[in-house]
Copies of this chain bind each other. A is one copy, B any other.
Amino acid sequence: MTRSAELAESLALSRGGSILLAVLDGLGDVSVPELDGRTPLEAARTPNLDRLAGNSALGQHVPVAQGITPGSGPAHMALFGYDPVSNLIGRGVLEVLGIGFPLRMGDLAARINFCTLDEQGIIIDRRAGRISTEESSVLAEMLDDITIPGVEVMVRPVREHRAGVVFRGKDLHDGLDDTDPGAEGLKPKPVVSPSRECEHTASVVSEFLVQAEGMLKNRDRANGILLRGISVNREYPRFGERFRLNPAAVAVYPMYRGLASLLGMTISNPSPADLSGQAKAVSEALSAGHDFVFLHFKYTDSAGEDGDWKRKMSALEDFDRALPALLEPGFDVVLITGDHSTPCPMKQHSWHPVPLLLHGGFQRVGWNDSFTERQAASGAVGTVASTDLMPLMLASAGRLEKFGA
């Protein structure tokens, strides 16, 4: 399914038009009963998007594969033209990217859940009663004092009972399982090295757990920890080199900033940290010579996760009002879409295809009068894989050579 992206990589030119990729996180939705079966995108007042749709080619894209619900990591990797399966980013890595931790290549990261153990060491609450962020911050700071010879250990709070740990040192490898058994009434799983290569990694992680246990054991609750998604921050082919672009990312949320920086994009600092600041940053990035700008807008997803279709409509309307400012700098090609669907009735990510609007370059236009899931499903672009979007943007911007004579 990534053949198009691989071919595009080999056919990419270093010149051509400029591209704006605007991602409305969790954009796609399903029929909402309270909206008479319409989706928030159908129900929202989005005159600017609708006008643009009339002069664009619509379509829909499938993030990983039909029926597969993606996390934010794979969904974005696919948008950027990376096979989301072979380029799966570890959960621990994503977690610490999400708090803006400055990860380096080769760092081993894991998510920590503070949990409560009984006297036999059996888990009685996997979330330690969802202790407050304040309480877990104190615990994280304590664990941050753990020292292991030859390895730098960094522990940072995330939210409520969650924290993240990063090990920095030589010879750290992927391969360790979660210590979280996934259920209460069991003991945390021991760290077992699956191979000779992982022995050092396993001993580092075990040593961390032993010291953490010593520090926490006298507490009433949050007296233990569980590790999940133990993963190495590996190197990915750089986006700019792959597609011969000079990319910039205009994102407010740390995880998306972290993801873009993993791929070598220049990270801008929108100020204020809202759409007005982002529009300014987008314009500045283009002026500064960035021929590819990734804009990330979070609030459609947050509203979907909360099942709040009114707030999702408002977020869409906010974006619509910001659209003229985003178009003003005059990108040659603009793709507006989501990374995945987050339907309000589901309150979570889903597998549904995501509507897209491709503007600029040479397109079949005049087919549509609004930007909705329904019009997108029978748009000129058809149904494509998310990994097809980079080739379509590059082609529209005149940045791909012909394949074969």
List A residues at the B interface (Cβ < 8 Å).
Answer: 1, 3-4, 7-8, 11, 30-31, 37-39, 60, 64-74, 84-85, 88-91, 94-95, 229, 343, 345-346, 348-353, 362-367, 373-374, 377-380, 382-385, 388, 390-395, 400-405
Contact = CB atoms under 8 A, between A and B. Distances in A.
A339 to B, nearest CB: 12
Nearest 5 CB-CB pairings of A with B: A67-B391, A4-B65, A66-B388, A71-B404, A382-B383
Given A30-B363, A362-B30, A377-B382, A69 B350 contact: no
B343 A403 contact: no
Given A71-B403, A391-B66, A362 B374 contact: no
A70 B403 contact: yes
A74 B353 contact: no
A345 B348 CA distance: 43
Contacts of A403: 64, 68-71, 74, 84
Given A67-B400, A73-B404, 4 more contacts: A4-B67, A30-B363, A364-B377, A377-B379
B374 A377 contact: no
A306 to B, nearest CB: 16
A108 to B, nearest CB: 16
Given A4-B65, A64-B7, A405 B365 contact: no
B364 A350 contact: no
Contacts of A350: 362, 395
A228 to B, nearest CB: 10
A73 B51 CA distance: 39
Contact of A67 (B84, B349, B365, B388): B388
Contacts of A89: 404-405
Contact of A11 (B7, B31, B68, B393): B68
A201 B352 CA distance: 50
Given A67-B394, A373-B380, A395-B68, A84 B404 contact: yes
Contacts of A366: 31, 37-38
A69 B8 CA distance: 10
A267 B358 CA distance: 42
A364 B352 contact: yes
Contacts of A382: 60, 353, 377, 382-383
Contacts of A402: 69-71, 348-349
B377 A377 contact: no
Contacts of A404: 70-71, 73-74, 84, 88-89, 91
Contacts of A85: 3, 7
A67 B395 contact: yes
Contact of A374 (B3, B364, B401): B364
A403 B382 CA distance: 24
Nearest to A345: B362
Contacts of A72: 405
Contacts of A385: 66
Contacts of A365: 30-31, 37
Contacts of A405: 71-73, 89-91, 94-95, 229
A165 to B, nearest CB: 16
Contacts of A95: 405
A29 to B, nearest CB: 8
Contacts of A388: 65-67
20 contacts: A3-B85, A8-B67, A30-B363, A30-B365, A37-B365, A37-B366, A66-B392, A67-B392, A69-B402, A71-B405, A73-B405, A74-B403, A89-B404, A345-B362, A349-B402, A350-B395, A364-B374, A373-B380, A377-B378, A378-B378
